[in-house]
Amino acid sequence: MKKDILKLDGIDKKILKMLMENSRRPILEIAKNIGVSGAAIHQRLRKLEAQNLILGSQIIINTKRLGYTTMAFIGVFLDKAANNKIVVNELKKIPEILECHYTTGDWSVLAKLICKDNEDLMIILTNKIQKIEGVSRTETYISLDQQINRQISFL
CATH of the domain at 22: 1.10.10.10
Q: Are residues 79 and 42 in the same domain?
A: no
Same-domain status, 27 and 75? no
Indicate the pTM of the whole model: 0.84
Q: Which residue range is the domain that position 84 belongs to? A: 63-143
Given the DSSP bridges, would you call strands 97-102 and 109-115 parallel, antiparallel or unpaired? antiparallel
**How many Cα atoms sit within 13 Å of 66 on the Cβ side?**
8
Which residues in the chain land under pLDDT 70?
A: 1-2, 155
Q: What would the pLDDT profile of 13-28 be if each residue is shown by its tens digit?
A: 999 999 999 999 999 9
Burial 64-93 (b: 16+ CB within 10 A, else e): eeeebebbbebbbebeeeebeeebbebbee
> Are residues 40 and 74 both part of a single domain?
no
* Same domain? 37 vs 91: no
Structural domains in the chain (count)? 2
* CATH code (residue 88): 3.30.70.920
pLDDT per residue as tens digits for the range 94-115: 999 999 999 999 999 999 999 9
